Homo-oligomer: A and B are copies of this chain.
Amino acid sequence: MKNKFVYFFGEGKADGNGQMKDLLGGKGAGLAEMTNAKIPVPAGFTITTDVCKFFYLNKEKLTAEIQLQISQAVKKLETVSGKKFSNVENPLLVSVRSGAKFSMPGMMDTILNLGLNDKVVVGLAEKTKNPRFAYDAFRRFIQMFGNVVLGIGKEEFEMVLTKKKDDIGAKLDTELVQSDLQDLIGGYKKLIKSKLGKEFPQDPKTQLQMAIFAVFKSWYNSRAETYRKLNKIADDLGTAVNVQAMVFGNLGDDCATGVGFTRNPATGENKFYGEYLTNAQGEDVVAGIRTPQPIVKLAQDMPGVYKQLRDITDRLEKHYRDVQDFEFTIEKEKLFMLQTRIGKRTAQAAIKIAVDMVKEKLITKEEAILRIDPEQINQLLHPILDPKVEKKVIAKGLPASPGAAVGTVVFTADQAVEQGQKGKVILVRKETCPDDIHGMDAAQGVLTGRGGMTSHAAVVARGMGRCCVAGCESIKISEEEKLFKAGDIVIKEGDWISLDGNTGEVIPGKVATVEPSLSGEFGQFMKWADSFRKIGVRANADIPRDAKVAKNFGAEGIGLCRTEHMFFAQDRLPFMQEMILSDTEDDRRVALKKLLKFQKEDFKGLFKEMDGFPVTIRTLDPPLHEFLPKNKKEAEELSKIIKIPVEEIMAKTEALHEFNPMLGHRGCRLGITYPEITEMQVRAIITAACELLKEEKIKVVPEIMIPLVGNVSELKDQKELTIKIAEEVIEEQKVKIQYHIGTMIEVPRAAVTADEIATEAEFFSFGTNDLTQMGMGFSRDDSGKFIKVYLEKKIFADDPFKTLDQNGIGKLIEIGVQKGRSVKPHLKIGICGEHGGDPESIKFCHKVGMNYVSCSPYRVPIARLAAAQASIATSVTRDK
A661 contacts which of B665, B782, B796, B809 (Cβ < 8 Å)?
Answer: B782
B-binding residues in A (CB < 8 A):
658-665, 667, 669, 672-673, 708, 710-711, 713-714, 717, 746-749, 752-753, 756, 770, 773-779, 781-783, 785-786, 789-790, 793-796, 805, 807-809, 811-812, 815
Contacting pair B749 A672 (CB below 8 A):
no
| B-chain residues with CB within 8 Å of residue A795 when the two chains form the complex | 672, 711, 713-714, 717
Closest to A785 in B: B665
Given A708-B777, A749-B809, verify A789-B663 contact (CB < 8 Å): no
Closest Cβ neighbor of A752 among chain B residues: B811
**Nearest opposing residue in chain B for A770, CB measure:** B777
B782/A658 in contact, CB under 8 A: yes
Q: How far is the CB of A717 from chain B (nearest CB, A)?
A: 6
Q: Which of B667, B717, B752, B777 contacts A710 (CB 8 A)?
A: B777
Tell me the complex Cα distance, A669–B796, Å: 12
Q: Are A808 and B663 in contact (CB under 8 A)?
A: no
Query: Which residues on the B side are within 8 Å of A713 (C-beta)?
Result: 794-796
- Listed A/B pairs (13) with beta-carbon separation below 8 Å: A660-B661, A662-B777, A663-B773, A672-B786, A672-B789, A672-B793, A673-B785, A710-B777, A710-B778, A748-B775, A749-B775, A749-B812, A753-B811
Give, as a whole number of angstroms, the nearest-CB distance from A287 to chain B: 38
Q: Are A777 and B777 in contact (CB under 8 A)?
A: no
B779 close to A669 (CB less than 8 A): no
A776 contacts across to B, CB distance below 8 A: 710-711, 747-749
- Whether A807 contacts B673 by the Cβ 8 Å rule is no
CB-CB under 8 A from A663, the residues of chain B are 660, 662-663, 773-774, 777-779, 782-783
8 Å CB contact of A779 from B664, B773, B811: B664
Q: Chain B's nearest CB lies how many Å from the CB of A848?
A: 14
Distance in Å: Cβ of A794 to nearest Cβ of chain B = 7
Query: Which B residues touch A673, using CB under 8 A?
Result: 785-786, 789
Cα of A748 to Cα of B713 in the assembled complex, Å: 21
A789's nearest neighbour on chain B, judged by CB, is B673
Docked complex Cα distance between A635 and B790 (Å): 31
How distant is the Cα of A808 from the Cα of B774 in the complex, in angstroms? 14
Q: Which residues of B contact A748 (CB under 8 A)?
A: 748, 774-777, 812
Q: Complex: how many Å from CA A703 to CA B660? A: 31
New A-B contacts (7) at CB < 8 Å, excluding given A663-B779, A672-B786: A660-B782, A662-B779, A663-B778, A663-B783, A664-B782, A710-B777, A748-B748
- Bound-complex Cα distance A811 to B747 (A): 14
Q: What's the nearest-Cβ distance from chain B to residue A719, in Å? A: 13
Q: A756 contacts which chain B residues (CB < 8 A)?
A: 807
Please tell me which one of the listed residues B660, B786, B790 contacts residue A660 in the complex, with CB atoms under 8 A apart. Answer: B660
Shortest beta-carbon distance from A747 to chain B in Å? 4
A667, A790, A794, A795, most chain B CB atoms within 10 A = A795
Residues from chain B with a CB closer than 8 A to the CB of A785 are 664-665, 673
Min Cβ gap A767→B in Å is 11
Nearest CB on B from A588, distance (A): 15
Task: State A672–B659 Cα separation when bound (angstroms).
Answer: 24
CB distance from A652 to the nearest CB of B (A): 13
Determine the distance from Cα of A789 to Cα of B668 in the docked complex, in whole angstroms.
Answer: 12
Complex contacts, A658 vs chain B, CB 8 Å = 779, 781-782
Residues of B within 8 A of A749 (CB): 775-777, 805, 808-809, 812
Find the B residue at minimum CB distance from A809: B749
- Nearest B residue to A670 via CB reads B786
Chain B residues with CB under 8 A of A794? 713
In this complex, the member of A663, A669, A672, A717 whose beta carbon has the largest number of chain B beta carbons within 10 angstroms is A663
Kindly state the separation between the CA atoms of A774 and B752 in the bound complex, as whole angstroms.
13
Q: Is the CB of A790 within 8 A of B662?
A: no
- Once the chains are docked, how many angstroms separate the CA of A484 from the CA of B667? 50
Please, which residues of chain B bring their CB within 8 A of the CB of A746? 777
Given A664-B782, A805-B749, is A672 in contact with B714 using a C-beta cutoff of 8 Å?
A: no
Q: CA of A52 to CA of B770 in the docked complex: distance in angstroms?
A: 45
The answer to whether B659 touches A781, judged by C-beta atoms less than 8 angstroms apart, is: yes
**Contacts A776-B747, A781-B660 given: A711-B808 contact, CB under 8 Å?**
yes
Hey, which chain B residues are within 8 Å of A717, CB to CB? 793, 795
For A747, list chain B residues within 8 Å (CB): 775-777
Contact B752 A786 (CB under 8 A): no
For the complex, what is the distance from the CA of A711 to the CA of B793, rounded to whole Å?
13
Q: CB-CB < 8 A to A782: which residues of B?
A: 658-661, 663-665
The residue of chain B having its C-beta at the shortest distance from the C-beta of A655 within the complex is B785
